Homo-oligomer: A and B are copies of this chain.
Amino acid sequence: MAVQWEQLYAERCDGLNASGIREILKVSGGPNFISLAGGLPAPELFPVDEVRRACELVLENAPEQALQYGATEGYEPLRAFISARLARLWNIRSTPDEVLITSGSQQALDLVGRLFINPGDAVVVEDPSYVAALQAFISYQARFLVAPTDDDGVRTDALEELLAREVVKFIYLVPTFQNPSGRTLSLPRRQHLLELSERYGVPIIEDDPYSELRYEGQAIPPLKALDPDGRVIYLGTFSKILDPGMRLGWIVAARPVLDKLVLAKQPADLHTGMFQQMVTFEVVRAGFLEPHVQRLIPVYRERRDALLAALARHFPDGEVTWTRPQGGLFVWATLPPDCHALDFFREAAQEDVSFVPGESFHPRGDVHNTLRLNFSNAAPHKLEDAVARLARAFSKVERGKRRTRQYHEPLAII
């Protein structure tokens, strides 16, 4: 009897579809292709020499530790480094044993889902939200309560109504330079959010990969820095400030919660690789990160400015609108209501340029005229070029719209 695979898959996998971003990252165009799709850092800024020296050092001094199994919690000196650095940067108070090293920040999202979500449990997410977080929570069969956002981030008044109405497991958000919108939650709303967390006894998951990448304006403290009671679970990563290729992230949480997250990580992958932890620790241990981030900032600022200037030049008439983020990697654009981002995506591909259609960032999947543009992974002249192509693609979509009403077949890559 043949195995009836389709009948064997667990219910939690029903909601799993190829994520737009991951699939789009695979679309490899020709040499002329420009992708604004992925959230990729600029590879020419990777600290290659420092990684090389760190590999040599680690393999010289501690090869048997680096290539052996390690503890689930992570490499002790790296945990201590992260704890101390967060105190220095943001006044986040933690002890090293309140830090868990994860296999990228994505694993942190997975562990949070694993630890908290029973099938059908409600969690509060922003609209739009980071798609891979939605995917992680969907894979544990979460039910989303969706809080609207505006230019100051999530609308905490609307969020309050959700909390008053339903029991929720946690509130998930990217408060600073959000993926995908680039928006930042204002300080008054941060304070309101923490009050709500206090009033309703609801924990907050603060996903914070971008806050060091600020190109203008004044820093706003992370929620975790404003949280004296350990109600915020804080997620960070080296992926955007160093390199994503070693997959290293972290969770900071109050000790009892961290202990549970460690237990949840054991069956997931035993531990994160010692080699990549020790090499990364060697790179960062002696103050490398601060000047490195200071080198990233002007490059990314110039790219953001180039993208925003090109958008203003090529989309002058207000039909298309977009955010003007003070940091991070993304600009979020909105097309006219009757313009479907998938049609635009198809035309854009014809013009050798890509982006991520916004649909999968909307927790209900009900908004079709948004899209995410990345600016960190292309030089300014390429960004100008890319936007010129987008403008050509857009005018084709608009002409087509006038000719005929298109049937929207779900795109394979979404």
Contact = CB atoms under 8 A, between A and B. Distances in A.
Interface residues of A, number: 94
Interface string A219-247: 00000000001110000000100011111
Contact of A273 (B13, B56, B132, B247): B247
A26 B65 CA distance: 14
A25 B71 contact: yes
A260 B136 CA distance: 15
Contacts of A198: 1
Contacts of A274: 245
A398 interface: no
B55 A40 contact: no
A263 interface: yes
Chain B CB within 10 A, most for which of A8, A70, A139, A246: A8
A109 B71 CA distance: 19
Interface in A93-113: 103-104, 106-107, 109-110, 113
Nearest to A204: B3
A132 B19 contact: no
B68 A5 contact: no
Contact of A10 (B19, B118, B202): B118
Contacts of A52: 55-56, 59
**Taking the full assembly, how many copies of this chain does it contain?**
2
Interface in A194-213: 197-203
A268 B201 contact: no
A1 B170 CA distance: 14
Interface string A65-107: 1111111100000000000000000000000000000011011
Interface stretch (A41-49, A340-348, A387-395): A41-49
Interface string A242-279: 01111100000010110010011011111111111000
Interface in A1-40: 1-5, 8-13, 16-19, 22, 25-26, 38, 40
A70 to B, nearest CB: 7
A243 B67 contact: yes
A9 B116 contact: yes
A263 B51 contact: no
A290 interface: no
A151 to B, nearest CB: 29
Contacts of A158: none
A337 interface: no
Nearest to A139: B267
A63 interface: yes
A143 interface: no
A5 to B, nearest CB: 6
Given A64-B43, A203-B3, A269-B103, A114 B139 contact: yes
A69 to B, nearest CB: 5
Interface of A: 1-5, 8-13, 16-19, 22, 25-26, 38, 40-41, 43-44, 46, 48, 51-52, 55-56, 59, 63-72, 103-104, 106-107, 109-110, 113-118, 121, 132, 135-136, 138-140, 169-170, 197-203, 229-231, 239, 243-247, 254, 256-257, 260, 263-264, 266-276
11 contacts: A1-B201, A3-B201, A3-B203, A9-B116, A10-B118, A16-B266, A18-B263, A22-B266, A44-B64, A51-B63, A139-B264
**Would you list the 4 A-B pairs with minimal beta carbon distance, nearest first?**
A43-B64, A67-B243, A67-B245, A1-B201
